[in-house]
């Protein structure tokens, strides 16, 4: 085998592997076009916590709903046209919430001490057209330091952490959905 044929073999093999693995990769985002984003007007903005409720996290789902909805209403107030039946709907869907068991600063300060002190919220901002079909979807994975919402010894720190995640998630929804 000469150099050219080895190169051709490697490139062909690489292309085959890339093609095979390319089918496994899924893009989580289905964005609006720039023009559609600029023209986006919303009939409603809602929070969907059904995935949390399905996991038995109803108290957290209620807290996420209660803290995120007012923030979304405030952030999208200029784009809401509630009486326009032809306007889209925006749904902020929260699929999971994870609170770290450690709520300190940096996992003890040593590289071997874990460092797993981030809280997470995972979900989507989904734009639904007037016909009920999904027009756009934006994945949001939010990570905040567990100390973001206050000191670990506060009696309501877990609630504060969920509220902090919810409000920040709402801001990410605003930033991910195009237009202003």
* Helix, strand or coil, per DSSP, at residue 76: coil
Tell if the pTM clears 0.85, that is, is over it: no
Q: Which domains does the chain have, with CATH numbers?
A: 29-176 (3.30.160)
Residue 162's nearest CA partner among 145, 149, 178 is 149
pLDDT value for 5: 42
Over 78-132, what HEC string results? HHECCCCCCCEEEEEEEEEEECCCCCCCHHHCCCCCCCCCEEEEEEEEEEECCCC
CA separation for the pair 121, 48 (Å, rounded): 13
pLDDT value for 27: 65
pLDDT value for 13: 42
Nearest-5° angle of CA 63, CA 68, CA 71?
140
pLDDT value for 90: 97
CA separation for the pair 165, 4 (Å, rounded): 55
pLDDT value for 148: 86
Per-residue pLDDT of the chain (180 residues), as tens digits, is: 444 444 443 344 444 333 333 333 346 889 998 889 889 999 999 999 999 999 999 999 999 999 999 999 999 999 999 999 999 999 999 999 998 876 555 544 444 444 468 899 999 999 999 999 999 999 999 999 888 887 778 888 889 999 999 999 999 999 999 876
Residue identified by tokens 């330091």 is: 145
* 122 class by beta-carbon count within 10 Å (0-12 exposed, 13-18 middle, 19+ buried): middle
pLDDT value for 117: 83
Instruction: From residue 98, give the alpha-carbon distance in Å to each of 65, 95, 118, 130, 179.
Output: 16, 10, 9, 33, 30
């Amino acid at each position: 085998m000469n150099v050219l044929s080895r190169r051709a073999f490697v490139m062909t093999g690489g292309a085959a592997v890339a093609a095979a693995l390319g089918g496994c990769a899924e893009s989580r985002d289905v964005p609006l076009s720039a023009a559609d984003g600029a023209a986006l007007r919303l009939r409603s903005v809602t929070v969907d916590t059904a995935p949390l409720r399905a996991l038995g996290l109803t108290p957290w789902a209620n807290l996420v709903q209660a803290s995120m909805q007012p923030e979304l209403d405030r952030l999208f107030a200029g784009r809401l046209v509630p009486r326009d039946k032809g306007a889209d709907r925006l749904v902020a869907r929260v699929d999971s919430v994870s609170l770290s068991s450690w709520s300190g600063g940096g996992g003890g300060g040593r590289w071997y001490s874990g460092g797993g002190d981030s809280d997470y919220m995972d979900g989507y901002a989904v734009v639904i057209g007037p016909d009920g079909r999904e027009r756009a979807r934006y994945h949001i994975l939010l990570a905040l330091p567990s100390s973001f919402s206050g000191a670990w010894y506060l009696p309501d720190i877990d609630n504060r952490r969920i509220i902090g995640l919810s409000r920040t998630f709402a801001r990410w929804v605003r930033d991910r959905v195009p237009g202003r």
